[in-house]
A and B are shown apart, each in its own frame.
Chain A
Amino acid sequence: MLKFITAVLTSLATGSIYALMSTALVLVWRSTRVINFAQAGQAVFTTYIGYEVTIRSGSYWIGVAAAIISGALIGAVIDRFFMRPIFKRIKSGPIVMIAPVVATLGLLGIIQAIIGFIWGLTYQSIPAPVSTDGYQIFGSTIAFSPFNLMVLIAVTISMLLLTLLFQRTNIGLALRASAYSPEIAKLSGIKVDAIRTLGWALAGAAGGLAGMLFIPSSYLYPNAMDVLLVFGFIAAVIGGLDSLFGAVAGAMILGFAINFATSYISSKLVFPMAFIILILVLLIKPGGIFSSVKGRKD
């Protein structure tokens, strides 16, 4: 029983980190129709900024704020000065589908190289603001700590804020309209380019938060977020790629599958489980669980 409860709790905690990454990917996909592989680089870069600020100010929370703000700024800059010119220059042909994605891959490499130059390739750590030792239940320690609880709460709050932004504000309506139909949004007078940049900024902020919540239980190095990018991507695909609710649900499904497989079967199942789930979803419902897209008929 204790094992089961622990598995549920750790599933929620890891699932919520995946959710931030999948949300970031979905925010960009919805606005630009690009899978942003640079997200891992952006997130880890902003986490380095959060790390610097945490060390210098002595406050983890000021570090989190710095990571979120710089994440948003970097996301906006990448869209405005990198992605937008690319889209402007290539308007037709098969390259339209490929070039932006390849560009984000290139960007990932560039960002990680820059990080190497500035901070070196050694492992750093960000001290957690609360204990990372597991709670004691009936005299035994479980694999769920006050820090895991804090992560869960922080992600829940940020998801609620994001939902409010999307559903209850004018900006949110403009974001949704631009995602569903950029042309109708433009013809209605909405500055779709600016709204797209805002989508990238929100994604960047989510990535920064994900880094600051993930790294204290791991280490900080240039490739520290690569694994999360893969899991976030799988979660986003499970959720249908264009649904924010789907991104969170997909992340939770993934979190539960991985944690239950590792605690009940074998700890070596982290990656196999993630890809088993991905392949199952793609076989049964290729459009993702929460998408209206139908499977291929031919």
Chain B
Amino acid sequence: MSLIVENLTIDHGAIRAISNVSFTVPQGQLAAIIGANGAGKTTLLRTLSGLKDAKSGSATWGGKSILGKRAEDLARSGIMHVSDGKSVIAELSVKENLALAGLWRKDKKDVAKATSEVVELFPILGQRMSQTAGSLSGGERQMLAIGRSLIARPKLLLLDEPSLGLAPLIIEQIFQTIKELVKKMDLTVLLVEQNAMGALKIADEGIVLNLGSVVAVDSAQTLLNDPAVRAAYLGF
């Protein structure tokens, strides 16, 4: 199964947010979409997870179109979107936040297993189970958001700016965890980041987005070493 996006165009009100974008993320790979604020990265992810409608073009996962589907149905079929802004429900406890992604699953034993795996991955969450998510630090919220998505046993993970607003040490830890997850759980990940450096370091492939268009697609390594990309997006 791979994620194939072809000639995707998305409007944001009267503004063209994404124009004629194509790329492929093969199964088990981690692709990073990098680009400045306003490049259309978040809009692209919201469309792929069913929160927004596309104007034209196609997007398929495992050969099936994912455009125009409801977000909850895509989530149930294994496409989990961790939206930006530390997507947790502040009023609910850590335990309840995790439970959300398992409520609809029939295999309750596996939900329990997935939950203990998440606690193993992020031990701090285990200590905070009965606290409200609103009382967590930024890094812990990000862990909870990623942890929740894992309860659904996803196949494709769409991550929107997991590094946003976090301290450098925590960012490093989150990025390393994402990289390990891809290997351990045979996940395919589409990671959207402003932190281009950190994202390209863990990614297999990099997609550079500028003002809604793809300006470069290459292996992450090549992009990291490309003087033009470095100058324009990495800042050194």
Contacts and interface: CB of A to CB of B under 8 A. Distances in A.
Interface in B52-102: 70-72, 75-76, 80-83, 87-92, 96, 99-101
A183 B84 CA distance: 12
Contacts of A185: 89, 100
A173 B104 CA distance: 12
B92 A188 contact: no
Contacts of A180: 89-92
A186 interface: yes
A176 interface: yes
Contacts of A266: none
B41 interface: no
Nearest to B76: A189
Interface string B4-36: 000000000100000000000000000000000
Contacts of A188: 75, 100-101, 103, 148, 152
Give the size category of B's interface with A. 20 to 34
Interface size on A, as a range, is 10 to 19
A98 interface: no
A125 to B, nearest CB: 44
A184 interface: yes
Nearest to B96: A173
A183 to B, nearest CB: 7
Contacts of B96: 173, 176-177
Contacts of A122: none
A173 B100 CA distance: 8
A263 to B, nearest CB: 39
Contact of B104 (A176, A183, A184, A189): A189
A180 B91 CA distance: 7
A174 B70 CA distance: 17
A92 to B, nearest CB: 8
Contacts of B50: 186
A242 to B, nearest CB: 10
A282 B89 CA distance: 28
Q: Which of B49, B72, B87 has the most CB of A within 10 A?
A: B72
Contact of A190 (B13, B51, B104): B104
A181 to B, nearest CB: 5
B89 A186 contact: no
Among A170, A183, A187, max chain B CB count under 10 A is at A187
Interface string A26-52: 000000000000000000000000000
Contacts of A191: 72, 104
Contacts of B89: 177, 180-181, 184-185
Given A173-B96, A177-B92, A189 B83 contact: no
Nearest to A292: B91
10 contacts: A92-B13, A170-B99, A176-B92, A177-B92, A180-B92, A185-B100, A186-B71, A186-B72, A187-B71, A190-B100
Q: Nearest 5 A-B pairs (CB), nearest first?
A: A189-B75, A188-B100, A186-B71, A188-B101, A189-B76
